[in-house]
Amino acid sequence: MMKRIQDFTIKSYCRLNTTSYIITFQSGQPIEPVLPGHFAEIKVPDAPDVFLRRPISLLDADYSEKSLSFYIKVVGKGTRKLGELQTGQTVNIIYPLGNSFSLNRSKNILITGGGSGIAPFILLARALKKKNSSITFLFGAKTKSDIVLTEEFEKYGKVLITTEDGTLGEKGLVTQHPVFNDVGIFDKIYTCGPDPMMKAVAKIAGEKGIDCEASLENMMACGFGACLCCVTETTSGNKCVCTEGPVFNTKELVW
């Protein structure tokens, strides 16, 4: 797939809660096709202390509007600065990067996410819906205010929630949700979010013989396979998450 280094202007912000927002960029040029799981490397402007580009999953793409959207959770200086820019400001983006989720003929699908790991799942759900899959989303967070975009996901399937403090949905961790009591009804699981969540989900999938793909969010620097700072151990050796991932079948991962 063709990678582009392209200037965009900030079209809009949508604030979701105190620590997350959606940022939409528009280009004067046509945008490249993107697949579910692809990410971009965004250069944060006017931030000399944010030297490296930041890897962020593609939330959505509108080809007629020539726009790309990203869901950003503020964790440090880059994600904070990106949320403080002015609409109309120019931002340079390299995309589409990485591999993508596989879309084989699964009928009953469980998608689990937490934190910024919900981002790749709008594009994924849209692609799965075209294949007539039935989708159950299970999103976990510390507390109710961290749960966002549920109305958007409800367009594609049933949305289940866990919060650690019990303020929304089931109290506890993602893997403590009752849906896992009968997880054998699913023939595919996709997961993205904090490593402990993905590992726990992958363990259950392995035990039940359910095919499972995880999109890893390892720290990155160069983003194109040169610095090796993003490697993850797999059954066939170390692999760069930026070029050979971020999506891996969990059977491959040595966690």
Ligand X SMILES: Cc1cc2nc3c(=O)[nH]c(=O)nc-3n(C[C@H](O)[C@H](O)[C@H](O)COP(=O)(O)OP(=O)(O)OC[C@H]3O[C@@H](n4cnc5c(N)ncnc54)[C@H](O)[C@@H]3O)c2cc1C
CA distance 23 to 105: 32
Question: Binding to ligand FES (CB under 6 A): which residues in 183-242?
Answer: 220-223, 225-230, 240, 242
| Interaction of residue 10 with ligand FES, rule CB under 6 A | no
For residue 147, the partner it binds in ligand FES, ligand X, none, with Cβ less than 5 to 8 A by kind, is: none
**Nearest approach, Cβ of 44 to ligand FES (angstroms)?**
16
User: Nearer to ligand X by C-beta: 61 or 210?
Assistant: 61
Q: Give the DSSP H/E element, type plus range, for residue 158.
A: strand 158-163
Three-state DSSP at 230 gives coil
Rg (CA), the chain: 18
**Nearest approach, Cβ of 54 to ligand FES (angstroms)?**
11
Residue nearest to ligand X (CB): 76
**Nearest approach, Cβ of 221 to ligand FES (angstroms)?**
5
Query: Which spans of this chain sit near ligand X (rule: CB under 6 A)?
Result: 39, 50, 54-57, 70-73, 75-79, 116, 119, 217-220, 246
User: Nearer to ligand X by C-beta: 59 or 189?
Assistant: 59
Cβ–Cβ under 8 Å, residues 207 and 134? no
Cβ–Cβ under 8 Å, residues 181 and 172? no
For residue 5, the partner it binds in ligand FES, ligand X, none, with Cβ less than 5 to 8 A by kind, is: none
- DSSP state string for 86-121: PTT-EEEEEEEES--------SEEEEEEEGGGGTTH
Strand partners, 156: none
Give the residues lining the site for ligand FES (CB under 6 A).
Answer: 220-223, 225-230, 240, 242
